[in-house]
A and B are shown apart, each in its own frame.
Chain A
């Protein structure tokens, strides 16, 4: 199997699987006061310290959650509610137009059910948001802004945003900023404190940890209203019995992924650049979406995203799948039905270009053989997909 969908989920690192497996059968609720509880709590707290150290946060800023979607929901809803409680005018959310659905749909829900408003921050043709755009959006009315949320790196086209600069702009107006860093951690250098953001979403399964375990990094002085109510386990912001084994796996993965990140990123970048160059040879009219690969810092090293003119992305995916090559048409969150990506549309591409796109994402298990396999399959697949393209129109 040729797995080119690491942005969807990447295989668990062996060290993480080992750490987790060792704990799966061990009893203990980290909130219990007896010895088993203390043993579990110790693992949780050591994991918290490990994660904090890996991502440039303080241990007290690590709030364990069930993953990216929950962290995004908590950040968007929790920060809005807290900000509005201290000043009822603050009901406007500033979001980049290329956010993940976990951010986007949380915000839309707030507009539909809770009186919030959204200002969409437009991106350029490569998916980049500039600080000036953010500044202008805040300037419309600095007093009514609840928060800014801009993803660190885009899940579809891999565009990396200037998070530090954006956070500085937000802070110059006293506005808190959240970033969804799900795709960034382990791929590029991410430092919570240095970035200046107030809240950051992280999930384990994108860097070799288990599924269902994530973190919201929340600055110590940031007010956040809970979404899940209950035992108040995590700073009274997030309730729920902690999944000790998953948290241990998450911590090991974070430590390993971050430590190995510079070397792995160089390797993946070279592999990706090779993929892009050979794609141009195999399918000369394929269009690379996002930032050009020579602008190394502005694109995730493992991301290659193309539009294939005259093709339907889902037809191409199916043809490659039949050849044992696994990739994605972009975000997998639409019940199996292909819809034009809001990310590509926001970048100014038309529906046809959006529908004809495929994402190949490399990760820690990727090799040159994977790229070779893709290259031997892609041109005939594109040719076939073209001949079938208009049948359903």
Chain B
């Protein structure tokens, strides 16, 4: 097969590309440039980290003796991932940019271009497996990324390769060493890639400005604090609330609700975060749609725990009912349905009750 290996400059995508080569595929490496391009003249707008990552990816491709190119996807990434991220926070939701990137960039824009150029598949360093055509959890539970891939439809999964999904991270590093890849010991990346300093709150404030408002107690309706923008909060958040009025009995308070229009953040007791059911938009099935109602498990955040659930489609939305009342579910996040280790589908959480 002709395989396009998306190479971030990290160890996982480098070993994924190496395995595609070892499997006998005709592999071409591509690094996706995600930062905005400077206009006519170079102004050094690209962060040093991404240039360094690009170089690491190039060196890995050198070692594998495969062609290597940089694809400029900054325009699409800015519009479909970064702008979406800002808009979601502005609307009081908590987005997952990795999910959006997989949905709209890696397995949409990049996959489409690859197929157009004659490639059969796109290979990435994601920790997930495709078993009998079904998206499935990785062997290494600590690294499993099936959650952020659950937005992919069968036709996208049919052209995806995740060669490291059946290995443990430690084995991937050892293998990188064996291939002579300089990235073998490169630290894992954790933060949101387009917020290199990791301070999401100040990054959002630069883009959305100060939007001061009240923090209100859910029970009494009393104003218990002030904030400079609802986008700095996530449902379930406890730290950094800066409340001026202590709760009766000194119990910790959590963010229960965010209303960007009223600029109000509502806080209350931990039990009020318990969720009996949720409604989620645009259900996407990774394989054939299951017979409904579907009884299985739901995961509500990346690396979060799973909950027994029953899911059904009502008015084109996914209605998920829980037996064990998960706690702190943020609208904007993705609910992913699992049948054992296999991913059934996903949807974007709209509301909980």
Contact = CB atoms under 8 A, between A and B. Distances in A.
Q: Are A and B co-members of a single complex? A: yes
Interface of A: 101, 104-105, 108, 314-315, 318-319, 321-322, 334-339, 342, 345, 384-385, 387-389, 391-393
B112 A337 contact: no
Contacts of A391: 109-110, 112-113, 116
Interface in B53-71: 54, 67, 69-71
Given A104-B41, A337-B33, A337-B72, A319 B117 contact: yes
A336 B118 contact: no
A392 B67 contact: no
11 contacts: A105-B42, A314-B69, A318-B67, A334-B42, A337-B37, A337-B70, A339-B38, A388-B113, A391-B109, A391-B112, A392-B113
B348 interface: no
B73 interface: yes
B117 A318 contact: yes
Contacts of B54: 335-336
Contacts of B31: 336
B117 A385 contact: yes
Nearest to B108: A391
Contacts of A108: 41
Given A104-B41, A391-B109, 8 more contacts: A101-B42, A105-B42, A314-B69, A315-B113, A319-B117, A336-B54, A345-B40, A391-B110
Contacts of A318: 28, 67, 69, 117
A105 B117 contact: no
B25 interface: no
Contacts of B40: 339, 342, 345
A interface majority secondary structure: helix
Say what secondary structure dominates the interface of chain B.
mixed
B83 interface: no
User: For A108, A388, A393, which residue has the most chain B Cβ atoms within 10 angstroms?
Assistant: A388
A104 B43 CA distance: 13
Contacts of B51: 335
Contacts of A319: 117-118
B8 to A, nearest CB: 15
Interface string B80-117: 00000000000000000000000000000110111111
Contacts of B75: 392-393
Contacts of B116: 384-385, 387-389, 391
A105 B43 CA distance: 10
Contacts of A388: 112-117
Interface centre among B37, B113, B117 (most CB of A within 10 A): B117
A150 B52 CA distance: 35
B153 interface: no
Contacts of A105: 41-42
Nearest to A334: B42
B46 interface: yes
A298 B51 CA distance: 39
A104 B38 CA distance: 15
A339 B109 contact: no
Interface string B211-246: 000000000000000000000000000000000000
Contact of B37 (A314, A339, A384): A339
Nearest to B51: A335
Contacts of A339: 37-38, 40, 72
A387 B119 CA distance: 12
Interface of B: 28, 31, 33, 37-38, 40-42, 46, 51, 54, 67, 69-73, 75-76, 109-110, 112-118
A349 to B, nearest CB: 14
Contacts of A342: 40-41
B145 to A, nearest CB: 23
A101 to B, nearest CB: 8
B73 A335 contact: no
A114 B3 CA distance: 50
B185 to A, nearest CB: 25
Contact of A392 (B37, B42, B70, B73): B73
Nearest to B112: A391
B207 to A, nearest CB: 23
A385 B110 CA distance: 14
Contacts of A314: 69, 71-72
A336 B70 contact: yes
A315 B46 CA distance: 22
Contacts of A393: 75-76
Contacts of B37: 337, 339
Nearest to B41: A108
Nearest to B46: A335
Contacts of B69: 314, 318, 336
Contacts of B76: 392-393
A337 B36 CA distance: 11
Contacts of A345: 40
Contacts of B115: 388
A335 B109 contact: no
A346 to B, nearest CB: 10
Contacts of A336: 31, 33, 54, 69-70
Nearest to B113: A391
A392 B33 contact: no
Contacts of B71: 314, 392
A260 to B, nearest CB: 34
B80 to A, nearest CB: 11
Contact of B117 (A101, A104, A334, A384): A384
A392 B108 CA distance: 9
A42 B267 CA distance: 85
Nearest to B69: A318
A338 B113 contact: no
A335 B70 contact: yes
A336 B72 CA distance: 9
A69 to B, nearest CB: 14
B117 A315 contact: yes
A323 to B, nearest CB: 11
Contacts of B42: 101, 105, 334
A105 B40 CA distance: 11
Contacts of A334: 42
A392 B114 CA distance: 10
A215 B117 CA distance: 43
A345 B116 CA distance: 27
A337 B110 CA distance: 15
Contacts of B110: 391-392
Nearest to A101: B42
